[in-house]
Amino acid sequence: YFSLYGIFRRKLVDEKGKISSTGALVASTGAGVVGASLSTPLDVIKTRLQAAVPEGVKPYKGWLPTVNRIAAEEGAMALWKGVGPRTIIISPLFGIALMVKETLARWFH
């Protein structure tokens, strides 16, 4: 996320190397979209490992067996379940956080 934010930020700075609040929001939200989307499979795996298992259902054990089981039982695309809502919720949070950070840094520097 932060590496991608740095790349986007460099594209949006002015000639003095400063970024506007809007530019910071755009750069960090864009990086947040990519970061949230690409980390969704890890979140799905984590959730399956942490979730309470109903009686009679075999629990998930270990990350690699969980990936294999999800792919075998539901298809590999099941690792991307919830990517839309996750991205919609997380990316603006990243955007707002770094916009505030950049704005405060500009004010107090």
Can you give the pTM of this predicted structure? 0.83
pLDDT of residue 7: 95
Task: Give tens-digit pLDDT for 5-23.
Answer: 999 999 999 999 899 999 9
pLDDT score of 109 more than 90: no
Which residues have a Cβ under 8 Å from the Cβ of 45 and sit 6 or more positions away? 63, 66, 67, 70, 79
Share of the chain residues as helix, strand and coil, in percent rounded to the nearest 5? 75, 0, 25
Q: pLDDT band for position 47 (50/70/90)? A: very high
DSSP symbol at 106:
H
